[in-house]
Structure 1
Amino acid sequence: MSAGYLVLLLLPLVSAQTYHWGPCPTPKTQPNFNLQQYLGRWYEIAKLPVSTQKGKCIEANFAIRKDGTIQVRNARFYKDKVRWAEGTAVISDIRDPGKLGVSYSFFTPYSPYWVLTTDYTSLSVVYSCQDYFRLFHVDYAWILGRSRFLPPDTVRYAQNVLIDEGVDLFRMAVTDQTGCKDI
């Protein structure tokens, strides 16, 4: 099977995402990342398209389970219903604790969840990437806030963090957080 044929087969899978030729980049993550300070609720302010994350009022809640694992509980309002997804996060590299991995099934590998920057109290900028045979990669990026809305200067700062790391924000979309109640 030629590489071109393989790309044509995979293209419909990534058409909603942001893809680029070549392997995934490796941006710098938050120095001295502190998981305990990161725990709690984060609201999605904006993201690069993710076909499985449609809806409004999107939020993620990080907590430590009794067994010591990291629970990630995502919620969104979609088609007149609240939809939940619960996963597990791990610190992928103890030398770089801002590099987390998240999985939502026992059968799927951990996907990168790299915290590029956070002040823990208002803003977090997260990046992820899926590499396909080092031929092309799909970028994912999120701007998260501790509140449903962030000041425009804060959003611009977050966008610049991603741009400085070479992330193309052309397809970044603002998440609808209007009329939302805590889920």
Structure 2
Amino acid sequence: MNAVQFACLLLFAGYSSAQVFSSGGCPNVNAQKNFTLNRYLGDWYEVYKFYAAFESGQSCAKAHYELKPDGHIKIVNSGFKDGKAIQAVGDAFVPDAVNNPAKLKLRFSSLAPYGNYWVLDTDYDNYTFIYSCSGVLGITHYEFAWILTRQPNITEEVKTKLFNEAKAFGIDTSNFKVQDRSGCTNNP
């Protein structure tokens, strides 16, 4: 490891507690081939997620996707933190709708670069499995993953199906944490 790589590792060390870091490159995953954005729009409830600092302490997480006139997707993530309603508005788009329609780019700040948001599997009516991974110097990677559902719960059958898909891709399912949905009757 040279000095530049070591310096970068130190830089990312503090950032590493912000999400799931693993050694080596990103797992080789495939986004869903036949993806129809219009069927994906609407409300989704977060039921499983990888740890992400920006979601720490959040409960009752919900996402709403709607198409904007410019073809981008407006994403409104809502939930509760410390008993107070919170909301984050993001922007997403599909860079290559012909060849990779389920590989979106997403950000929640105009100052941030767009990150990967890949739909690995969805049936549009019940569940979606989202994944994002970025390599760091070829020696480590950080990843995010979410399982969302149209209703605020998930069946054991769907959970097993999606966890098995994750394992087949080499994604460590022990990183999934259950979203706190207790007391979510007033979800924003």
TM-score when normalising by structure 1: 0.93
Q: Is the counterpart of residue 156 in structure 1 residue 160 in structure 2?
A: yes
State the identity %: 33
1:179 matched residue in structure 2: 183
The residue number in structure 1 matching 2:35 is 33
1:61 pairs with one of 60, 64, 67: 64
Q: Secondary structure at the match of 1:66?
A: coil
- RMSD after superposition: 1.5
Matched, 1:167 2:177: no
Alignment partner of 2:38: what SS?
Answer: helix
Cα distance in 1 for partners of 2:158, 2:23 equals: 30
1:17 paired residue number:
19
2:118 partner SS: strand
* Richer in helix (by share): 2
Distance 2:125 2:142 in 1: 29
Q: Which amino acid aligns with 1:9?
A: L
Q: How many residues align?
A: 183
Report the CA distance between 1:149 and its aligned residue.
Answer: 0.6
Per the TM alignment, residue 175 of structure 1 is displaced from its structure 2 partner at its CA by 0.2
The Cα shift of 1:108 comes to 1.4
TM-superposed CA distance for 1:2, in Å, is 4.3
Shift of 1:105: 1.6
Which residue is equivalent to 1:44? 46
Which of these residues, 130, 136, 155, is aligned with residue 140 of structure 2? 136
The answer (yes or no) to whether the contact 2:79–2:187 under 8 Å persists in 1 is no
Answer whether contact 2:71 2:93 (CA < 8 A) is retained. no
One-letter amino acid of the counterpart of residue 134, structure 2: Q
For the Cα contact (< 8 Å) 1:62–1:71, is it kept in 2?
A: yes
- The separation in 2 between residues aligned to 1:88 and 1:26, in whole angstroms, is 26
From 111, 114, 118, the counterpart of 2:118: 114
Specify every segment of 5 or more residues in structure 2 that has no aligned partner in the other structure, as ranges: none
Would the aligned equivalents of 1:139 and 1:167 in 2 still touch at CA under 8 Å? no
* Cα shift readout 1:117-170 (whole Å, capped 9, x = no counterpart): 000000100100122222211011111100111111211111111111111122
**Counterpart residue identity of residue 110, structure 1:** Y
Which residue in the other structure is 1:4 paired with?
Answer: 6
Q: TM-score, normalised by structure 2?
A: 0.91
Report the secondary structure of 2:33's partner residue.
Answer: coil
Match of 2:22, SS? strand
Give, as a single letter, the amino acid of the residue that structure 2 aligns with 1:59. Answer: K
